[in-house]
Amino acid sequence: MTLAGNKCRYDQVLHEGLSIVGFPWLREEYLCSRASIGGTHNLKLYILTAMTDFPALPGFYKALFLYIEPFSTMLPAIMAWTYPGAAWFHRELIPSSAPVVLDPRSQMAVWQLGNCYLLLGLISSLVFRAVRDTLRGDPVSQERILGASFTALAIADLTHVVASFIALPREIQLSPSTWNPMTHGNITFTVFLLCSRLAWFKGIGRKTYYYGKADGQDSKAKQA
């Protein structure tokens, strides 16, 4: 059998195999890609991505950014709106502060802050899942969109930590043992999220597909 014949046979087996294991969408994307770039394609990439639904956000990063972070940002919104309520949320911003009765303006501000938390959680949860479901088999595009989102979120992480820290009374700033759970959420946990985003950009614990790939970036630039 000729080399061309072997390749055709290999392609047929690959197509049938992907359909059998439940990835007909991958088979169609493979066929379209071969047709669009003259019959050459990275088969290994397709085989690898067939076994994962979100190669740009694997393992630890998937658990953190697709589940834990959205939950941790939406929960405060629900608590501020319902129970323990806006007055509790306002009081907990500064550890050991005396209880106060909120005026309507302060209550509105807390509720609106809760809405911002809800927005962040929904963006992480819904948009990231849309990226996963729409760009299956295209980890480069997945990574570029996630990277844009993580850049915005990292900037927000940094400004949130700085604002939360400098607003604390001096004696509390330098005594983390006196911080309450909300203070640790605003500072400690947010620093952890920021570090995790930076680790994602550096490719720590995962395979990178776009960031740090000079050739891939040049190729995308030429296509644009």
Q: What three-state secondary structure class fits 63?
A: helix
Alpha helices in 59-189 (DSSP H): 59-63, 69-81, 86-92, 104-122, 128-134, 139-166, 170-173, 181-184
Q: What ranges do the domains of the chain cover?
A: 3-49, 59-223
Residues of the chain with pLDDT under 50: 1-10, 13-14, 16-26, 32-33, 35-41, 50, 216, 218-219, 221-224
pTM score of the predicted model: 0.75
pLDDT at 213: 81
pLDDT at 100: 85
